[in-house]
């Protein structure tokens, strides 16, 4: 699930200016400056396109040497934005259908909860969270365009909605098929397996549902404390 766009980042002799997760740009002090060479230790989430002006340090392969005062990061999240969509939610139907093949099922929750859309040089991911009873909310749908899978957009959305709903709810639930890589994704993002609803997909959908060749039968519910 999830990716990055191209953003430009200006480097001066004293700071790196960038935002890595949708916040306002911050001044990040360089690790070391020697003469005209700026040594930067990169934190998680930075993907850099190595060009003729950028090379790794022999002493520390996780450190890069930047030869120019102005350079460009490719695939860095300097323009990432997450919006709550209040109107015309069906415009996102094509993306929601990637996670839930039934428009009838989507219609049952798309207007009931909040729809979040993640943009990074264009729309990348969406999710829908609905209020439930007893201090619980449910992540009903989360989807990222296939070409952007594996770049962290889904995880970024989960971090955002967890923070957004903290204090309003005690627990977030999510239901999914019994597919190992999907379960690992949610567990990586703080969910633990809660319970199982037998034959949910065979009972509630008018056609067999498959995920990477695996037929979905039971719904696996996971929970996360907010």
Q: Dihedrals φ, ψ of 41, to 5°?
A: -90, 120
**Cut 0.85: pTM above it:** no
Domain(s) of CATH 3.40.630.30: residues in the chain? 81-225
Each residue's pLDDT tens digit, 148-199: 999 999 999 999 999 999 999 999 999 998 889 999 999 999 999 999 999 8
Better-predicted residue by pLDDT, 33 or 56:
56
Each residue's pLDDT tens digit, 85-117: 999 999 999 999 999 988 999 999 999 999 999
CA-based torsion, 188, 190, 196, 200: positive or negative: negative
Q: Is the pLDDT of residue 5 over 70?
A: no
Q: Is the pLDDT of residue 70 over 70?
A: no
- Residue 107: per-residue pLDDT: 94
User: Of 3.30.300.90, 3.40.50.970, 1.10.10.10, 3.40.630.30, which CATH number belongs to 81-225?
Assistant: 3.40.630.30
């Amino acid at each position: 699930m999830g990716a990055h766009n191209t953003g430009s980042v200006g480097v001066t002799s004293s700071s790196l200016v960038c935002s890595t997760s949708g916040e306002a740009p911050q001044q990040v002090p360089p690790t070391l400056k020697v003469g005209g060479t700026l040594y930067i230790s990169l934190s998680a989430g930075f993907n850099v396109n190595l060009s003729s002006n950028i090379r790794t340090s022999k002493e520390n392969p996780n450190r890069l040497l930047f030869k120019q005062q102005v350079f460009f990061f490719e695939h860095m999240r300097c323009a990432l934005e997450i919006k709550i969509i209040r109107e015309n939610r069906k415009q996102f139907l094509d993306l929601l259908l990637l996670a839930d093949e039934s428009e009838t099922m989507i219609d049952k929750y798309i207007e009931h909860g909040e729809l979040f859309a993640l943009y990074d040089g264009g729309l990348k991911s969406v999710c829908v969270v609905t209020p439930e009873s007893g201090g619980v909310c449910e992540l009903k749908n989360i989807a990222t365009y296939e070409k952007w899978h594996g770049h962290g957009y889904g995880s970024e959305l989960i971090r955002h909605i967890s923070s957004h709903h903290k204090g309003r709810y005690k627990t977030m639930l999510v239901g999914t098929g019994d597919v190992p890589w999907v379960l690992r994704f949610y567990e990586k993002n703080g969910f633990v397996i809660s319970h199982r609803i037998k034959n949910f997909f065979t009972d509630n959908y008018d056609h067999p549902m498959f995920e990477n060749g695996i037929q979905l039968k039971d719904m696996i519910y996971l929970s996360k404390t907010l």
